[in-house]
């Protein structure tokens, strides 16, 4: 406890910063809070954090924005979530976040050299940065989950996923029985039901580019995607989609239509995707409009 207090005191001990409006800590971290709960519980190493974040290179006339999570986050939510790691250098971004409580917002100025070479472990500075550059990082700390909370959430998620896994086959069996579907599955588990014969005898190859219309639903009838609703067919290389589609469209010829029943093992598996939950069997009504040789990979 004494060591932790000493480290915290060292971190927040202040010096005058050369950047207007900022304060400089003993570790060399420049900081400026916009909103701050000084008595709030601070983030610590190993916590799960959720943030909005903007990175910008400091420039004399106008800072150059490199990344804004509200425009570039992986899931489209604008939120970045990760486990807060050990500080990668003195005056690091990780140190900055440990100064914050939930709902705090602040800007920090750190060494760009150290951020790229130590935090991101790059072997050289990127072409847009030069030695001595500073990086301004603006953060809104949306949430903090302690290690204990993360462990409890993990156990809960694992139990829910196990339950979904166990329920997939009974749900599929019931769907097949209720709809009197007797078509045998392929070795992968795909059930292919032709609803309209196509023209010609040629079938797409795994590397071909196909043009298709499709509507996708869950077993309960919930629609999650449809090219028909968008009013234009989808075009994609056949080897860059879920395995169930890669297999199914090779069974089709131009103009043919089919119903596909695709178990999660050849769809989105235990992760799911967007509106598709983990271990979800998918139903597709598909039409192969055209296909051609794909571009060189």
268 is catalytic: yes
Selected catalytic residue, list 33, 63, 68, 242: 242
Nearest to 38 by CA among 102, 84, 93: 102
Q: Which of 224, 236, 289, 290 is catalytic?
A: 224
Catalytic-role residue among 89, 108, 115, 284: 284
Q: Annotated catalytic residue: which of 68, 225, 236, 289? A: 225
3-state secondary structure the chain: CHHHHHHHHHHHCEEECCCCCCEEECCCCEEEEEECCCCCCECCCCCEEEEEEEEEECCCCCCEEEEEHHHHCCCCCCCEEEECCCCCCCCCHHHHHHCCECCCEEEEEEEHHHHHHHHCCCCCCCCCCCCCCEEEEEEEEEEEECHHHHHHHHHHHHHHHHHHHHHHHHHHHHHHHHCCCCCCCCCCCCEEEEEECCCCCCCCCCCCEEEEEEEEEECCCCEEEEHHHHCCCEEEEHHHCCHHHHHHHCCCCCCCEEEEEECHHHCCCCCCECCECCCCCEEEEEEEEEEECCCCC
Residue tagged active-site, from 89, 115, 192, 268 = 268
284 is catalytic: yes
Q: Is 224 an active-site residue?
A: yes
Closest CA to 93 of 36, 159, 49, 148: 49
d(CA 70, CA 196): 45
Rounded CA gap, 146 and 168, in Å? Answer: 33
Q: How far apart are CA 259 and CA 118, in angstroms?
A: 52
Catalytic residue among 55, 108, 116, 214: 214
225 is catalytic: yes
- Compute the distance between CA of residue 161 and CA of residue 170 in angstroms, rounded to an integer: 15
Catalytic residues: 214, 224-225, 242, 268, 284
């Amino acid at each position: 406890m004494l060591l932790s207090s000493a480290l915290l005191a060292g971190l927040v001990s202040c010096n005058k910063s050369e950047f207007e409006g900022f304060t400089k800590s003993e570790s060399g971290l420049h900081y400026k809070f916009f909103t701050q709960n000084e008595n709030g519980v601070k983030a610590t190493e190993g916590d799960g954090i959720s943030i909005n974040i903007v990175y910008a290179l400091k420039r004399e006339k106008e800072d150059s924005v490199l990344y804004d999570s509200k425009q570039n986050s992986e899931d489209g939510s604008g939120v970045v979530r990760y486990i807060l790691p050990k500080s990668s250098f003195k005056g690091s971004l990780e140190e900055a976040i440990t100064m914050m409580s939930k709902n705090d917002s602040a800007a920090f100025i750190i060494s760009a050299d150290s951020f790229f070479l130590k935090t991101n472990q790059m072997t050289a500075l990127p072409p847009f940065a030069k030695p001595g550059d500073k990086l301004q990082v603006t953060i809104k700390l949306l949430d903090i989950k302690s290690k204990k909370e993360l462990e409890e959430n993990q156990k809960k998620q694992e139990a829910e996923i196990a339950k979904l896994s166990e329920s997939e086959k009974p749900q599929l069996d019931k769907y097949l029985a209720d709809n009197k579907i007797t078509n045998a599955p392929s070795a992968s588990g795909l059930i292919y039901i032709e609803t309209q014969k196509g023209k010609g005898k040629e079938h797409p190859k795994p590397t071909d580019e196909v043009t298709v219309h499709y509507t996708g639903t869950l077993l309960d009838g919930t629609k999650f995607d449809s090219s028909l609703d968008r009013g234009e067919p989808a075009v994609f290389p056949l080897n860059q989609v879920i395995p169930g589609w890669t297999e199914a469209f090779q069974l089709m010829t131009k103009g043919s239509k089919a119903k596909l029943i695709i178990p999660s093992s050849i769809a989105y598996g235990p992760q799911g995707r967007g509106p598709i939950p983990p271990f979800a069997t998918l139903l597709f009504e598909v039409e192969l409009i055209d296909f051609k040789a794909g571009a060189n990979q």
